[in-house]
Structure 1
Amino acid sequence: MKKTLYLVRHAKAEDRASFQRDHDRDLVPEGIMAAARVGHHLAELGVKPDCLISSTANRAKDTGKVMAEQLRVDPETLVLEPKLFDGGPKAYIAAINNVDRNCKSVMLFGHNPDISYFAEYLTHADVGSMSKGAVAVIEFDDLNWAEVSGRTGHLVDLISPKKLKES
């Protein structure tokens, strides 16, 4: 059975202030609007993820909540995974490999550069650096989440807030 993974880089966040921890940075209004725009676009395509996973950083969680609302998914179902913040690509693969096999589609909210590297690792496609609020759509054929690893998926789409704004 086909599985679909939506890798989402968090939307635009406030600049880091000297007194503020990087983990605690919030989305700026522009980031909230971009996340809503991308979420709305995905909803129009009929996307409704079964599972939502996010870094515990404010900007990733909030991107997840905004998109969940647009997709008509309960934002309270967002599972927080602390290791996605500064845990490197190994944290991303561990998060995906631990997803319940009954989930057909997963949306994961994280950070660059790890999320871009992860998309390339899974697909061997030239994703480059994902822009803030961008979504890499990756499909896996006949795999359980525990079997997902390097080059097992194929990149179906790369959606960015900027491209949606221009169209």
Structure 2
Amino acid sequence: MKKTLILVRHAAAEDQKLMVRDFERELLGKGRTDASAMGRWLVSKQVNPDRFVSSAAARAHQTAVIMADQLQFPAGSIVLEDFLYDGGPRGYLSVVNAIPSESQVVALFGHNPDITYFAEYLSGKDLDSMSKCSLVIIEFENLDWAEISAKTGKFVLYISPRELRES
């Protein structure tokens, strides 16, 4: 059976300020617009995640909530994972390996550079750097989440909000 992982880099957030910790940075209006557009794009492609997992950092969680709303996924069911904030690709892998086997399509929200490194690690595809609110879809044939590791995934696509606007 096929598993599908949608890796989403958080949308555009406010710049780091003296009084705001990086973890607490929130989305800008542009980020909210982009997250909504990317969610609508997933709806148009009939990609319906049955599980959302997000970094607990404000900007990633807000991106997940906005996209969940477009996909009619309950925001209260989004799983927050500390390992997705500065946990490196190894942290991302531990989160993916712990996904319950009944989940078939998972949307995972994180941060650069780790999310780009993780997409490359899983697929073997050179992505350079994922832009804000872009997503990568990777499929895994006949593997459970616990079995996923380096280069076990098939790269399906990369799309960014800019590419959506230009199409």
Question: Normalized against structure 1, the TM-score is what?
Answer: 0.99
For the pair 1:33 / 2:30, whether they are aligned, the reply is no
SS across alignment from 2:18: coil
For the pair 1:141 / 2:135, whether they are aligned, the reply is no
Question: Could you tell me which residue of structure 1 aligns to residue 101 of structure 2?
Answer: 101
Matches within 5 A, 1:7-156: 7-156=7-156
Residue segments in structure 1 that go unaligned for 5+ positions in a row: none
RMSD (Å), alpha carbons:
0.5
SS across alignment from 2:66: helix
> Between Structure 1 and Structure 2, how many residues are aligned?
167
Cα displacement string for residues 22-48 of structure 1 (whole angstroms, at most 9, x for unaligned residues) = 000000000000000011001111111
CA distance in 2: counterparts of 1:88 and 1:45, whole angstroms: 30
Cα displacement string for residues 79-116 of structure 1 (whole angstroms, at most 9, x for unaligned residues) = 00012111111110000000000000110000000000
Return the letter of the residue paired with 2:53: I
CA distance in 2: counterparts of 1:128 and 1:152, whole angstroms: 19
Return the letter of the residue paired with 1:14: E
SS across alignment from 2:138: strand
SS across alignment from 2:130: coil
Contact 1:48–1:72 (8 Å) recurs in 2: no
Give, in angstroms, the shift of residue 72 of structure 1: 1.2
Residue segments in structure 2 that go unaligned for 5+ positions in a row: none
Question: Normalized against structure 2, the TM-score is what?
Answer: 0.99
Contact 1:8–1:135 (8 Å) recurs in 2: yes
Question: Could you tell me which residue of structure 1 aligns to residue 159 of structure 2?
Answer: 159
